[in-house]
Amino acid sequence: MVNTVDDIQTASKRIDTAPVLTVNGLSVYYHTSRGAVKAVENVSFDIRAHERLGLVGESGSGKSTIALALLRMIKPPGRIETGEVILDGTDLVRLSEEQMRSMRLNKIALVAQGAMNSLNPVVKIKPQLIDGMKDHDIGLNDKQMDARVYELLDSVGLRKDVADMYPHELSGGMKQRVCIAIAISLRPKLIIADEPTSALDVVVQRQVMDTLLKVQEDLGASILLIGHDMGLMAQVADRVGIMYAGEFAEVSQSADLFSDPLHPYSQLLINSLPSIEHKGTLKGIPGLPPSLLDRPSGCAFRQRCPFAFDRCEAEEPPLREIRPNRLVSCHLY
């Protein structure tokens, strides 16, 4: 768990102050016959060098949409409406499609949720590892390319003979590690991991996350980790952003968030987790998230919030820094 003094000091040493990624005012809408579904609305954040930023929230809160927007993989009827996505000094939103293709895998890479759907079932692992490297023309001959494949497999804890296997011959954890190997093949600066362990059992989840963190350290890369698993975020993430209805409710250091959540949604979300110390009936959060097709006025969480008052209905709270390194979107502060 990243919640001891030693853990916090270790994390602070690992993180450089300079941002690798800066997102300013990002909005993504899905246009339908009934109007625009505002999946992500005016979101801003940064990820520093070597940092692990976690995004957490209920289904439909905009986490995966942010990931796809960073990769410029939003498909119609979706569209990036506004915003900047500045990676290593380059605004990805303004690049042509061909320029963006050269950035994917090279500067920014994705470890997708389902390895089963990410790998081609009728192609062996080695050609799938080589494909991206050839597309980016990294200048290796066949012998060097084979050596690179074996090096990548070794870096994620897989044997050389995996290169000559088909995906169906591998376990779920092995397939996910192959996906990690593909993602790091060109040594990107940012790895987006979209629920990389959701389809795996608990033991394999730990192995896959250990692999991901090891390759991050080896590359000196940053990670954007997306998921629902609050326990995983507490152990892995340096900072956590709590998302609700396409916006940030709170962004805090991991240790601060789990020891003292500030936003009412963060409090209810963490209090709903099962606890060994407090056995009894599990408590959910009453109500449902609002429709993103017809967003309510004021605070999006007010109809479910136990502390809502008149101002919450009339005015949307901005995301503000109310304590050092703690941003909260709530009128209570």
Q: CA–CA separation, 200 vs 121, rounded Å?
A: 19
pLDDT value, residue 198: 78
Domains of the chain from N-terminus onward: 5-107+189-282+317-328 (3.40.50.300), 118-187 (no CATH)
Looking at the chain, the whole-number percentage of residues with pLDDT higher than 70 is 92
Determine contact, residues 178/119, Cβ cutoff 8 Å: yes
Taking the C-alpha atoms of residue 107 and residue 187, their distance in angstroms, rounded to an integer, is 7
Identify the pLDDT of residue 205: 87
- Report pLDDT digits (tens) over 138-157: 888 989 999 999 999 999 99
Strands 52-56 and 239-244: parallel
| Pairwise CA distance, residues 214 & 329, whole Å | 34
Query: What CA–CA distance (Å, rounded) separates 63 from 55?
Result: 6
For residues 68 and 99, give the distance between their C-alpha atoms in angstroms, rounded to a whole number: 16
Q: What is the pLDDT of residues 164-196, one digit of tens each?
A: 999 999 998 999 999 999 999 999 999 999 988
| pLDDT value, residue 5 | 40
Per-residue model confidence (pLDDT) at position 165: 97
Q: What is the pLDDT of residue 66?
A: 97
Q: What is the pLDDT of residue 201?
A: 83
265-318, pLDDT tens digit by residue?
A: 999 998 887 777 766 677 788 888 999 998 889 999 999 999 999 999 999 999
Of 20, 31, 1, give the one whose Cα is nearest residue 216. Answer: 20
CB atoms within 10 A of CB 6: 7
Task: Look at residues 240, 170, 235 and name the one whose alpha carbon lies nearest to residue 206.
Answer: 235
**pLDDT at position 16, please?**
52
pLDDT tens digits, 218-268: 999 999 999 988 888 999 999 999 999 999 999 999 999 999 999 999 999
How would you classify the pairing of strands 247-253 and 326-328? antiparallel
Distances (CA, A) of 107 to 63, 143, 147, 286: 20, 25, 22, 41
Mean pLDDT of 38-55: 96
- Structure pTM? 0.90
What's the CA gap between 53 and 234, in Å, rounded?
Answer: 11
Inter-residue contact 54 to 227 (CB < 8 Å) = yes
pLDDT at site 7: 47
Separation of alpha carbons 332 and 311, rounded Å: 10
- How far apart (Å, rounded) are the C-alpha atoms in residues 41 and 101? 25
Query: Quick one: pLDDT at residue 328?
Result: 97
Q: How many CB atoms lie within 10 A of CB 321?
A: 10
